[in-house]
Amino acid sequence: MTKADGNKWILLAFLLLLVVFGGLTARKYWMRSAPPPPAVVSPEEAPGQMREIILYFASEDGSRLVPEVREMNGCRSQEDCIRATIQALIHGPVGNLGPVIPSHTVLLSITEAAGTAVADFSDDLQKGHPGGSMSELLTVYALVNTLASNFPHIRQVKILIEGSEVESLKGHVDLRRPVQVNFSLVRRQSGDTAGGELPQGAIIEEEVKEGGR
């Protein structure tokens, strides 16, 4: 091999190294400058769509329940949706309607099985309640009717205080058994009130003390 041939091979090897090095450098630059691939979001992590819910609050005169429609973020599970709906009820109305649950009440737990929801509240629900037969009726049936309207498979609600069963909130509505859905206290859309009969389960204080039904 002549000296010229040797120089030729050296030049070719140098050019090959230059091409390889240049390719690696270009690839490294492209990876740095290229936008990152879109993140893959699993169904559990995907943001939920807005859903419409119906909440029941007290009329301005405190004699009936009136529906208030609002939108709520979608939920990851049905239990989360039920919890969020009750939380919205606790937070109170956005209009001129009256609240039905003391605002500092804490929802401790909520479960549902076979059409019966069991809602466990802090004792603020009982201690902070203003009392009175109509006020107590509105509180209990606002909760029951709100859940039944948004989750039709729920037909009754068992209310607990601090994990324990109670006779009533303030002596007027029997809470020793699940309270069934009843819309007789709901004001009709026309503005007329519904029938004047009290829902089944409404009992006076004396009946609770004497053992109820």
For 70-99, the DSSP string reads: EEE---SSHHHHHHHHHHHHHH--SSSPBP
Q: How far is CA 49 from CA 38, 75, 81, in A?
A: 21, 8, 12
Structural domain contains residue 39: no
Distance CA 81, CA 213 (A): 34
Query: What tens-digit pLDDT sequence spans the chain (213 residues)?
Result: 565 565 666 666 666 665 555 555 545 544 444 444 444 433 443 445 788 999 999 999 999 999 999 998 878 889 999 999 999 999 999 989 999 999 999 999 999 999 999 999 999 999 999 999 999 999 999 999 999 999 999 999 999 999 999 999 999 999 999 999 999 999 875 444 444 455 655 554 444 343 333
Structural domain contains residue 181: yes
Is residue 2 classed as helix, strand or coil in its secondary structure?
coil
Domain count along the chain: 1
> What's the pTM value of the predicted model, to 2 decimals?
0.70
Structural domain contains residue 75: yes
Structural domain contains residue 8: no
In this structure, the dihedral spanned by the alpha carbons of residues 193, 91, 135 and 54, taken in order and rounded to 10 degrees, is: 30
Structural domain contains residue 10: no
pLDDT at 49: 78
Structural domain contains residue 68: yes
Domain that holds residue 67: 51-209
pLDDT at 175: 97
The answer to whether residues 155 and 183 touch, using CB atoms and an 8 Å cutoff, is no
Distance CA 181, CA 149 (A): 9
pLDDT at 110: 96
pLDDT at 192: 47
Structural domain contains residue 117: yes
Structural domain contains residue 105: yes
What element of type H or E holds 72? Answer: strand 65-72
Token look-up 């400058």 returns: 33
